[in-house]
Structure 1
Amino acid sequence: MARTFQVGDTFTHVRQCDRLRPVYYAGASGDYNPIHIDPEVGKLAGFDGVILQGLCTLGWAVEAVAVFVGDPGLVRRVRVRFSRPVLPEDTVTFQGRVTAIADGRLSTEVTATNQRGEPVLRGAVVETSLG
């Protein structure tokens, strides 16, 4: 039985950025920018140490939608604005809402905050096929 969606449906997804996540993501993505793997470089950039790659945060936002719709293969388009870096040991909560359903596509808006309530992602729009 196919799942049905309605404008206004909401979903939540939570991910933990463990202290080695930037290193793991560097290995997977090839993004070895020192700000992600060298705490001293992170401090020189004005942070307390390393920061997570923005594309990892984006990947988690897309994952939130993929879990909601039930199939990562349905994701078709993504637009995002980063608000603040994710730090190791941060817990990131993604909140999503269906904003439109038309022409066989589902549009969602996703925001994300860390455990301090600070936005790390705003106005992400993820579009999927309806299957």
Structure 2
Amino acid sequence: MLRPDLPYTGGMKRLQDFTVGDTFEAIREVDSYRPIYYAAASGDFNPIHIDPQVGRAAGYSGAILQGMCTFSWLSDACVAYLGDPARLRRIRARFTKPVQVGDVIRFQGRCVALDGPRIALELEATNQRGEEVLKGAVAEGHLGEG
């Protein structure tokens, strides 16, 4: 599925199109409606995500984005690089800093290993202040069939 908000990679990449050292990037901005949209889609209606006053009472500038929304954007960046959602087999990350409404998140990845059809990626996500919002992020993929 093509997404207009993510870079188009030019179709399905073949195994030989990937090399160790490849990099990729995606940038997402957290608009004021994003936590509400994600709450509706996920059922996560925790007030800290949808009520700016609750976010401020917790010490933030307003509502904070659901962590799984940030994580899904990281997954989207990997899928855009890999060219097919079925190629992404595993992904993990540790949440280190809340993402707030108004933040601009830069997702970056690098291919660190290729072993036949298996691929390993190191990932990071930082806000516009250069602060890591996800740490220790890695993904594994399979570039062959099945």
Shorter-chain TM band: over 0.9
Whether 1:2 and 2:14 are equivalent positions in the alignment is: yes
* Structure 1, gaps ≥5 residues long: none
What fraction of aligned residue pairs are identical, expressed as a percent?
A: 53
Amino acid at match of 2:71: L
- Match 1:120 to one of 129, 133, 143: 133
Paired position in structure 2 for 1:96: 109
Q: Is 1:83 aligned with 2:96?
A: yes
* Pairing partner for 1:25 from 10, 35, 38: 38
Answer with 116-125 or 30-39: which moved more.
Answer: 116-125
* Partner of residue 50 from structure 1, selected from 55, 63, 86: 63
List, as ranges, runs of 4+ consecutive aligned residues in structure 1 with deviation greater than 2 Å: none
Unaligned runs of 5+ in 2: 1-12
Cα distance in 1 for partners of 2:76, 2:136 equals 16
Q: TM-score, normalised by structure 2?
A: 0.84
Q: Distance in 2 between matches of 1:33 and 1:73?
A: 31
Aligned counterpart, 2:24: 11
Deviations 1:42-81 (A, max 9, x none): 1222211110000000001111110001111211111101
What secondary structure is seen at the aligned counterpart in 2 of 1:57? helix
Query: For residues 102 and 53 of structure 2, what CA distance do their matches in structure 1 show?
Result: 17
Corresponding position of 1:106: 119
1:103 Cα deviation from its structure 2 partner: 4.9
SS at match of 2:81: helix
C-alpha distance in 2 between matches for 1:89 and 1:46:
16
- Partner residue in 1 for 2:80: 67
